[in-house]
Chain A
Amino acid sequence: MKRLLTLSVLAVSVLVAGCPQKAPPERGVYLLIDTSGTYTKELDKAQRIINYILSRMNPGDHFAVARIDTGSFSEKDIVSRTTFDDRPSTANQQKRQFRRTINNFVEEVKPSQYTDITGGVLQATEWLSEVNAGQKVILIFSDLKEDLPKGYVRDDITLELSGFEVVALNVTKLRSDIVDPRKYMGRLDAWQKRVTQAGGEWRVINDLDHMTGLFKAKDE
């Protein structure tokens, strides 16, 4: 009996202190790509980002890519979305398929007249809440300059970003920003304020060669 007890204790200690790793939380990533005006020229960078994100996705994670155009609060603007399968081999195939879809989109995309970032963020929060991911990340690949057509109401909308990470990627400087950098800073500050007031976390990554910190906070 004592021997069995000792053996059990040994087995449990190996189990507890041994090889198994804690299961990472399911990750949900929603990438908004600005397709307005000259930003379409930056889409190759967006492709790189998507490829990087795909390489970091695990089975069970959720990933969606949507365009920011005149009215982004629409499911029609979602270019591709998927929940990766439990099995690693199937998840692998899904990644390849996702990449093909994005490639086709980049080849065929036409510039939009306006930039509805808030609508895109709203759509992102809706989808990420729907899939109920453990870690919710909204990536905005844009210069963050919102340009809405007449009649579109976005200023009075209160965002609910509690539990969301919002990361602005490749926030390019416009010609007017070069003339007056305060505009650029003001734009960034305004978005940061908006996101943090809505309960979310705000980050900016402009150097796309150092993307390793994109999901670092939750990985570690």
Chain B
Amino acid sequence: MSFSEVLMIVPNAFLSAVIWLIILAVLLYLARSPVHRVILSASRALHRAFRMAAFSVMRAEGRLSQRNREVLLAAGREAAERMVEREFDRVDATVHRELAGYPELHRRMSEEITAIEEDHHNSSEVPPSPPGWTEAVDAVARIPAKADPMVANVLEDIHKSLVKAHEKATVEYRKATSQRHKLLERMRPHWRRLQQKVNLVDKNIEGLLERSKVIDRQMDEYQETIKGTDRAVRMLSSSSLSQFFISLLVMGVAVGGATINFYLIARPMAEMVGGTSSIAGYQTADIAALVIIFVEVSMGLFLMESLRVTRLFPVIGALSDRQRHRMIGVTFAILLALASVEAGLAYMREILMQQELATQAILSGSGDGGEAGASIRWITTAAQMGLGFVLPFALVFVAIPLETFVQSLRTVLGLIAIGTLRTLAFALRLVASGSRYLGQLLVDLYDLLIFAPLWVEGKLSERREGAPAAAFATGGSGSAGGGASASAGGSRARGGGRSGSGKSGTSRSGGGKSGSGGNATGTEEKTEEGSA
């Protein structure tokens, strides 16, 4: 007996199908209430689960944001402290440099002023003292006998003496004036020197004032960072992002330099460590070359750290000055040695290349073995050696972008993680809402499948609702209680379909429940009301 034969209830296939459809519709109608409950419960559960997941993700995002903020502020605080400290160092250096010479400057200025005062004092004009015998002359001039020739002679002599004395006084006066001019002339360089020194002091004071303005500005930023204001966080965040990209760019350039360095020394390395051995599938010569470059970069890091340019290793920063200086010497010596080795390897590379070219030329039968161009070959040799020597020192400066990169990487990764978590939370919330409406949609689709029984049910309930109304109109009091109980049963059933309250279809389904569960509860409530 085949499956199709089982399905054939009556000989006619169409009729069998119709009968099956009716049976199915009836079965589905009977199972409607529990199926609705299952669908709605499942959708509610999914909705809540996804909402909870979204909430957890948002909480994680919040914690991460807070942590990022703290890290950013800490980094900003450290950077601001560093900048302020550096500015103070500069001010300290300026003050030490300038004020250390201040007593000397003061002494010199005092000396200059004393010299000027002395010169000024010496140049003051002293009125010539009147001659002592002028009174005697005055007395002689009052002698009445002016006609007396003797007196006239005496007066003549006196006149001559007076003229002579006057001339002498004039000469002396001129001489003194000239002396004073000379003294004033001598004062000029003193003035100029004094002016220069005052200008110098003025310049230094201006510089200090400028520095103090910079410090003020940085202190303001520092205070904002300490307060943890949003503005400070925004500024630090954008600064961190730009620093990340700049350092990435510079590091890309550095990696280019390191790659050139690698190809410069990898080939001759085979002469030292052999060209056939390998470590983890990679040629030992290549790994040796790479290790040399890494050692150079490490030495560069230590050198920069010892010079206090970077602060990647707190241990080195905490060393005493003497130890630091010793470390600077050691790292520089190692770098110098490595640079010399690289220059040698670059030279060896050139020799190997020439030998190989010569062999290739012999094997291919092209003749001279690369003798042509030998006169200019020294240029490439020198260039390779120069590169081999310079690149290790150039790689030292990788430490600066590397530090910036490492510091800003934390912020950038944090921002990326926050963005990812936000997107994830949004997606989870979307899925939560979707699952809720999907449950609703499934309920409606279910009702669509059993539209025929529902239509019949609707008609029947309309008729039922019409009959009590007619009875009430004719004044039948006994049936009024029944009508009340029926409505109570209906309302209870609606209460059962609470989850679908927002939708007309579900409220209808709630009403539909009165067909099964609704009736039962309606009967119970009727009993309770009756007992009351």
Q: From residue 41 to 97 of chain A, which have CB atoms closer than 8 A to chain B?
A: 51-52, 54-55, 58-60, 86-89, 91-92, 95-96
Cβ contacts under 8 Å, B267 to chain A: 88
Q: Are B276 and A22 in contact (CB under 8 A)?
A: no
B79 at the interface (CB under 8 A from A): no
Cβ contacts under 8 Å, B296 to chain A: none
Q: From residue 357 to 387 of chain B, which have CB atoms closer than 8 A to chain A?
A: 359-360, 362-365
Residues of B in contact (CB 8 Å), total 36
Q: What is the CA–CA distance of A92 and B362 in the complex, to the nearest angstrom?
A: 11
B420 at the interface (CB under 8 A from A): no
Do A59 and B363 contact each other (CB < 8 Å), given the known contacts A21-B283, A22-B282?
no
A7 at the interface (CB under 8 A from B): yes
Q: Are A7 and B406 in contact (CB under 8 A)?
A: yes
A99 at the interface (CB under 8 A from B): yes
Min CB gap B298→A, angstroms: 9
Residues of A in contact (CB 8 Å), total 31
Q: What is the CA–CA distance of A54 and B356 in the complex, to the nearest angstrom?
A: 11
Q: What is the CA–CA distance of A153 and B425 in the complex, to the nearest angstrom?
A: 81
Pick the contact of A59: B255, B276, B286, B365 (CB < 8 A). B276
A151 at the interface (CB under 8 A from B): no
Min CB gap A8→B, angstroms: 11
Chain A 1-40, CB-CB to B under 8 Å as 1, else 0, gives: 0110011001100110011111100100000000000000
Q: From residue 257 to 288 of chain B, which have CB atoms closer than 8 A to chain A?
A: 258-259, 262-263, 266-267, 270-271, 274-278, 281-283, 286-287
Q: What is the CA–CA distance of A11 and B294 in the complex, to the nearest angstrom?
A: 8
Nearest chain A residue, comparing its CB with the CB of B279:
A23
What secondary structure prevails in chain A residues at the interface with B?
Answer: helix
B409 at the interface (CB under 8 A from A): yes
Cβ contacts under 8 Å, B242 to chain A: none
Q: What is the CA–CA distance of A58 and B283 in the complex, to the nearest angstrom?
A: 13
B312 at the interface (CB under 8 A from A): yes
11 contacts between A and B (CB under 8 A): A10-B402, A19-B289, A19-B290, A58-B275, A59-B276, A60-B276, A86-B270, A87-B270, A88-B270, A89-B271, A92-B352
Query: Chain A residues in contact with chain B, CB under 8 A?
Result: 2-3, 6-7, 10-11, 14-15, 18-23, 26, 51-52, 54-55, 58-60, 86-89, 91-92, 95-96, 99
Query: Chain B residues in contact with chain A, CB under 8 A?
Result: 255, 258-259, 262-263, 266-267, 270-271, 274-278, 281-283, 286-287, 289-290, 294, 312, 352, 355-356, 359-360, 362-365, 402, 406, 409-410
